[in-house]
Amino acid sequence: MARELATVDPQERFLEFFKKGKYRQKISQIGITGRESITVDFEELFGFDQRLAERLLEKPDDFLQHAGNAAYAQLGIEDAEYASKLEKLTVRIVNLLGKEQLRKLGSKQMGKLVMVEGIVVRATPVRPMVMNAAFRCKRCGTINQVEQSGQFLKAPPVCASPDCGRDGPFEFVQDESTFIDSQDLRLQEKPEDLPPGQLPRTLNVKLVGTEIVDLARPGDHVSIVGVVRAFAPSRPGIGKLRTFILHLDANSLEVLGKEPETRPPSPEEEEKILALSKDPEVHKKIMNSIAPSIYGYEHIKEAIMYLLFGGVSKSLPDITIRGEMNALLIGDPGTAKSQLLQYVAKIAPRGLYTSGRGTTAAGLTAAVIREKGGSMSLEAGALVLADKGVACIDEMDKMRPEDRVAIHEAMEQHTVSVAKGGIVATLNARTAMLAAANPALGRYEPHRTVAENISLPVTILSRFDLIFVLRDVPDREADAKMSEHILEIHRRGESPVEAQIDAELMRKYISYSKTIKPRLSKAALKHLGEFYLAMRSASETEGSPVAITARQLESLVRISEARARVALRKEVSGEDAEAAIVIMKRSLEEVGIDLSSYKVDIDLIMTGRPKSVRDKLQVILSVLMEMEKETGMVEKTALVSELELKHKIPRAETERMLWQLLREGTIYEHREGYLKKT
Ligand SMILES: Nc1ncnc2c1ncn2[C@@H]1O[C@H](COP(=O)(O)OP(=O)(O)OP(=O)(O)O)[C@@H](O)[C@H]1O
Ligand SMILES: [Mg+2]
Ligand SMILES: [Zn+2]
């Protein structure tokens, strides 16, 4: 190109670009699709004219305008009829050569065109925004058209009518104004872009135009190209602040896939993966590589292995059945639950660690949030953000009351539905869940059932495929081994047991395994079917309520499939089914669901005819929690009366037990005479 670039009209140059091959064809077909914009691959523009592309990044406002004018001019040539219907054609740029780290955005990028990737955590509904506002002068009736920009609706300074020219008052005329669809999103850094130990940053994004609003929902991963803007928040009566807040004016938005982000394995890695899968000891090796620094808990590590690999989801025409597993660890304080969860969040592709309360207002599921300006927006919670990954939820018993309701749907249907404040949406939460909780009375009481030991309802408990109990009971031999193990860690500063498979390979191996969808063999079907029927008939003869439901059968299938997946096998063998049965039995036994106990617990709490002091403690606690739900905190005298009237517990006894609960810290005195559960 011999011409001096600076003298070339950029619009001319864009026109040359649009007259060539692919884009010319795109423009000629735009009328058929009815679109009002054309998407340009930045890399192709860069290949066509590097200088032009660079100036587009530097001065996006001017150059997007030039590009749009050129594209519109070309449309006039290709399809004059459609061009006359449109007022303009918008050029949307995708695929910038490099993406900008969300946390690095600053004053340097202001006014520049950048590309960022992230997770949509919050979205407002689509709202009309005024582009051209019509104002009627109340003095002379003239309609003044005012082109709008910025945040606030601008009225004309003075009436445009030469006979009037007065400064209003004006009234806004909706019918004569033009609107365009707009939406605000909040983008959050992806976990994989996060420096270790840092909290994710967020960026507000403004979308304008029918073609880019409503493309992304909370929980979606997106790539957005846009212009970095800054505006100064103003304080009423004081003026604008000197520090500005950044946001992005989006030019284009693409929803990215949700497959685990790790690169596909290299040929050498693939070789390693396949070799490992053929190892007859593969299950042991992987189990032993899960949190090797945590001593013992082989069965729990086995369960975690199944959870990491997962079963196969089935989409039938009428229903879908989840493949991802849910597991719950209930345990005494200091039994390494949090450590296990943190480890899993680190190793799992798309792992996320959160506490039951959640780290944001959206908690575990989702919430409709009222923003400062009064508008509503939908925010995704942890299970939605971990879609297609593993959510590790610590302290699950402490989740928000709203989540207690919504989590039922999330755990089985793998969706979160919201209908509130004018927002109606269903978000995906195809998440495997590893949860931990403390026992309701602080420590696990072995002669009680899970329902009593944990303040989660049976409806939630039954949605876990596997539940395990971690108890901290003094045991000379085990204590000696464990202390040796822990002290060794502290002495060496590293784990005495080395992982046989390093974390990097493990993550790759898990991602790789997900492409395999094992099917049940005849032998597996036979094992699972027989076990299920035996359990069912056992509960029949005892005349007890159903302990084993279809849920457990589906869990067994998932576990068997996961076990086949660990060995990258396409078929679920009889051996897989047997292993699934063993671990399922162990889980059922551990939590004391021995075919007849499901109902007993509930009856006990409901009817309030406690047999022992321990049972009475339980009743007192559950009544307290019920009352607390209604009133926030519980008046002691009201509680005592309630227990006397409805549960026949004498006053003196209640007083004594409340004192005990206060002392051990299960409840506390919020104000003089008012109690609250800790
Ligand atoms: N089996 C074990 N092997 C190695 N370390 C252990 C084991 N059990 C407990 N620990 C150590 O004890 C400490 C406490 O563990 P952690 O914080 O995970 O307990 P937790 O079960 O989450 O307790 P809480 O219910 O109070 O939250 C950790 O430093 C952990 O490494
Ligand atoms: Mg913990
Ligand atoms: Zn006027």
Q: How many CB atoms lie within 10 A of CB 540?
A: 11
* CB neighbour burial string for 123-147, b if at least 16 within 10 angstroms, e if fewer: bbbeeebbeebbbbbeeeebebebe
Residue type (1 letter), 38: I
Shortest-distance Cα residue to atom 27 of ligand 1 = 333
Residue 188 per-residue DSSP state: E
For residue 16, pLDDT beyond 70:
yes
Pick from 314, 329, 307: which is nearest to 390 by CA? 307
> Buried b vs exposed e over 74-99: b needs ≥16 C-beta within 10 Å?
bbbebbeebbeebeebbbbbbbbeeb
Ligand number nearest CA of 497 is 1
Rounded distance, CA 347 to CA 355, Å?
18
For the Cβ of 295 lying below 6 angstroms from any atom of ligand 1, the answer is: yes
Tell me, in angstroms, the distance from the centre of ligand 1 to residue 329's CA.
13
User: At 267, which helix (H) or strand (E)?
Assistant: helix 267-278
C-alpha dihedral (262, 268, 273, 277), degrees to nearest 10: 170
Is the CB of residue 337 below 6 angstroms from any atom belonging to ligand 1? Answer: yes
Closest among 410, 433, 416 to 326, alpha carbons compared? 433
User: Residue 672: pLDDT above 70?
Assistant: yes
Q: Is the pLDDT of residue 99 over 50?
A: yes
Gap between the Cα atoms of 362 and 162, Å rounded? 55
Helix (H, G, I), strand (E, B), or coil: what is residue 499? Answer: coil
Pocket lining: 495 vs ligand 1, CB cutoff 6 Å: no
Using the atom order of ligand 1, give the atom closest to the CA of residue 341.
18
For ligand 1, say whether the CB of 401 is within 6 Å of any of its atoms: no
State which residues have CB under 5 angstroms from ligand 3, the bound ion: 137, 139-140, 142, 159, 161, 164
Q: What is the pLDDT of residues 366-416, one digit of tens each?
A: 888 887 777 788 888 889 988 888 999 998 888 888 888 888 898 988 889
- Reported as a single tens digit per residue, the pLDDT across 310-344 is 999 888 888 888 899 999 998 888 889 999 999 99
Helices and strands (H, E) in the chain, number of each type: 23, 27
Residues of the chain by 3-state class (helix, strand, coil), percent to 5: 40, 25, 35
Q: Which two tokens stand for residue 158?
A: 């003075």
Cβ of 537 less than 6 Å from ligand 1: no
CB of 336 shorter than 6 A to ligand 1: yes
pTM of the predicted structure, to 2 decimals: 0.76
Most confident residue range from 4-13, 221-230, 666-675: 221-230
Which of 486, 491, 678 has most ligand 1 atoms within 8 Å of its beta carbon, as the pocket-test mutant?
Answer: 486
pLDDT, mean over the chain: 83
415 in ligand 1 pocket by Cβ < 6 Å?
no
- The response to whether residue 483 sits with its C-beta less than 6 Å from ligand 1 reads no
Question: For the segment 120-145, what is each residue's pLDDT rounded down to a tens digit?
Answer: 999 988 888 898 899 998 888 889 89
Pocket test for ligand 1, best of 339, 344, 483, 484 (most atoms within 8 A of CB): 339
* 339 CB near ligand 1 (under 6 Å): yes
Q: Which residue has the tokens 């365009």?
A: 180
Pick the residue whose CA is nearest to atom 11 on ligand 1: 336
CA distances from 162 to 142, 154, 165 (A): 10, 20, 6
Answer for the pair 102, 289: CB distance below 8 angstroms, yes or no: no
